[in-house]
Amino acid sequence: MGSNGDFIPDRGTLFLGLANVSFPAGTGGGCYTKGPFNSNEYNATMGPINAINRPNVSLRDYNPHCLQRDLNPYNAQRWTSYKAVTECILKYDSIDWFQGVMQADPRYKPITASSLGLHGGGHLVVGGEMGDFYSTVRMPIACMSAAN
């Protein structure tokens, strides 16, 4: 699905206000330019709306920009670890419980301010466009996941 975004140094801690969580910057952060679906071939035209530490635009503004990625090992371990994925698959034997835990629905599992579930955590593992609710659909990895 392409590479990580170009590395942007000295970014410090990132904050996602929508979920009230902070985490260290990942290993990229800039435009991703290598591999299939790179930002030389594809771009986003709307957003960011709820971006992490990026200037936001209004919902209807035309805002062409490169697709960005910020692969984040910290977020992978925190929200999408092998243990968390395995537990979700093996422990919850009904679709409502599986989805409830996967989506961090508070009706199914106690949720804290730092819990995003496997789905939300996966967005922050990829970072960049995947961390913006409104422009995540422009990421080829999101489109491929939805198609399967």
> What is the per-residue pLDDT across 34-51, written as a single tens digit (0 to 9) for each?
887 777 777 777 777 666
Residue 125 lies in a domain: yes
Q: Which residue segment(s) compose the domain that 107 sits in?
A: 13-147
CA 9 distance to own-chain centroid: 20
Does 29 or 17 have the greater pLDDT score?
Answer: 29
List of residues 6+ apart from 91 with CB closer than 8 A? none
Q: How confident is the model at residue 71 (pLDDT cuts 50, 70, 90)?
A: very high
Residue 63 lies in a domain: yes
Q: How confident is the model at residue 146 (pLDDT cuts 50, 70, 90)?
A: very low
Residue corresponding to tokens 């995947």: 130
**Element (DSSP H or E) covering residue 85:** helix 82-91
Residue 2 lies in a domain: no
Asked if 77 and 24 count as a contact pair (C-beta separation under 8 A), the reply is: no
Q: How confident is the model at residue 63 (pLDDT cuts 50, 70, 90)?
A: confident
Residue 114 lies in a domain: yes
Residue 6 lies in a domain: no
**Element (DSSP H or E) covering residue 141:** helix 140-147
On the question of pLDDT at 72 being above 80, the answer is: yes
3-state secondary structure of 15: strand
What pLDDT is recorded for position 147?
46
Residue corresponding to tokens 């199914």: 108
Q: Looking at the 3D structure of the chain, how many domains does it have? A: 1
